[in-house]
Structure 1
Amino acid sequence: MQLDLLIDLHIGGYRQGPGGDDVTRRAIGLSGLKEKQGLHIADIGCGTGASTLVLAQELDAHIEAVDFLPPFLEKLEAEAQKQDLSERITTHAISMDALPFADTSLDAIWSEGAIYNIGFENGVRAWRQYLKPGGILAVSELTWLTDERPAELDQHWAEEYPEVATASAKMAILEANGYTPIGYFPLPPHCWLDNYYRPMQARFADFLARHDQSDAAQSIVAAEEKEIALYERFASYVSYGFYVAAKL
C-alpha cells in the first residue's frame, strides 16, 4: 500500500528526485561521450525517464532504461514515442541489483539520484563489471557541502541515508573501487526547488483527495514537507553531487 501511494504521488512528476535537463547535459559534457558513436548506455533507476530522454537526444547511443516500477517505465515509453526516440530506448522492469547486462558490455552507466537504493559504495563496486575499460560512470548522490552541519540536518540525513558524506569521501570510494574521477559538481538549488519540490507540493492536494485524506497519505505528505523545510533552511550544507568517473 505504501509503495502504491508513493508511485501515485511521484508518477505525475517530470522528475522523481532533484535534477535537471541542464545538469544532465553538463554531466554529458564532462563525460566525453558526446564525441563518441554507437554507444551502449544503461540508465539505472531512471524513474519516468527525464535523464533517459536527454541521453537519447544528446548522444549517438542506445539507452537501456532500468527501473523496478513498471508504471514509471510505461510513462517513459509513451514520452519516447512522442519524441520519436522509441527505437533508441529499451526499458527493463528489474531491480538495479539484478542487472541483465553482460560483463564489459556498456560504454556508460548513468544513475541520477537512485544509487542510494543499494548504497553508493555497493553500487559503484557492483556496476563496475558491466563497464568496458575506460567506460563512464555518472551518478548523482546525496552529498555534504561542508565538513560541519547543523545538528538537526545531520541527524535527519544520518537516519534517512547513513552513507551521506562529503565529495572528497565519495571520490575516495570511487578511487578505491577502480575508477578515476574526471568531474564533479553539486546540484544548484533550482534542481531541488523548481524541478522537484515545488511541482511535488503542487500535487499534494489532489493526492490527498484521491486517497480520502487517509492517515497513510497524510504521513507521506508530512514526511515530504519536513524534508522540504529542512532543505529550504539548510540548502548551503547539502545537495546532490554529480560524480563522473572512468573505469580503470
Structure 2
Amino acid sequence: MPGKGKHRRPKNTRLTRGFVAVGTGGAALALPVLGATTASAAAPATAGTVAPQAVGAAPAAAPKAPVTYAVKAGDSLVKIAEKHSLAGGWKKLYQDNKTVIGEDPSLIRPGLKLSVGAAAGKAAPARKAAPARADRSARTTLKAAAPKAKSYANNLDGWIRESLDIMVKHGIPGSYNGIYRNVMRESSGNPLAINNWDSNAAAGIPSKGLLQVIDPTFRAYHVPGTSTDSYDPVANITAACNYAAARYGSIDNVFGAY
C-alpha cells in the first residue's frame, strides 16, 4: 500500500516452513546417597567400581537431542512453523534463528540449518484440588463472570477474523471477502511477502506483509492494540484497512493497486 507511490504486486519470497525443534533440558545426575542402617561410615567405592543407585531413586531423564531443519526450495518461515506446529509461529522461529537468517525474515535460502523449538502441543492442565467447603453458588457466579477469551486460528482465516473484530471496535469498515480478495492479489497469503523491485523499494521503503504496506503508511494508520511490526498479519491487515477506509471508503472498494 503506498504512502507516496503505488504498490505493485510483490515478487513474493516464499519462506520455508519446516524448522526443527531443539529440545533442551539436560538433567544433572546426582550421585545416590546410600542408606545406612548403622552409624558406621559407608566404605568408599574402589576404583573402577560403579556406586550402586539408592533404592527407589528415579532414573535420570536422558536429555533430548536438538533437532534441526534444512531449508528446501519453496520453503518459508510460515510454512515451516505450521508444518511443525510451533508454539509462537513464524515469529518465534525467526527469533530463534535470527543469527542464521539475518535481518530480513523473508530471505531464507535452501540449505540453511534452522533450529526449531518444541512442537506446540496441548499439555494436560494441572488438576486443581477442590477448595475445602467451597460454595457451589459462588463458584458458578465466578465462572459466569469470567467469559472465555475468543481464540483465532494461526492462519489466514484466523488473521482476517481477528482483524475484523478489532476493526469493529475502532469503526473501520470492511468485509471478510474484501480483505481476502486483496490479500490474495497482493501477497498470495504470505505474511512475510516483500516487494524489492518497484519504485517504493527503490526509495528504500518496500511494501511488506499480507496487504503490502510501506512503513510510513503502516505507522500513520497503525491501529492501537495491534503489533508495531508491519509483518504481523493482524497489524498489517488492520492498518491497511484503516488506510483504505480513509482513501477509498473501505477495503471492499479496492480492486487493484492502491
Higher alpha-carbon Rg: 2
Higher strand share: 1
Question: Could you tell me the TM-score, scaled by structure 1's length?
Answer: 0.20
Question: Could you tell me the TM-score, scaled by structure 2's length?
Answer: 0.20
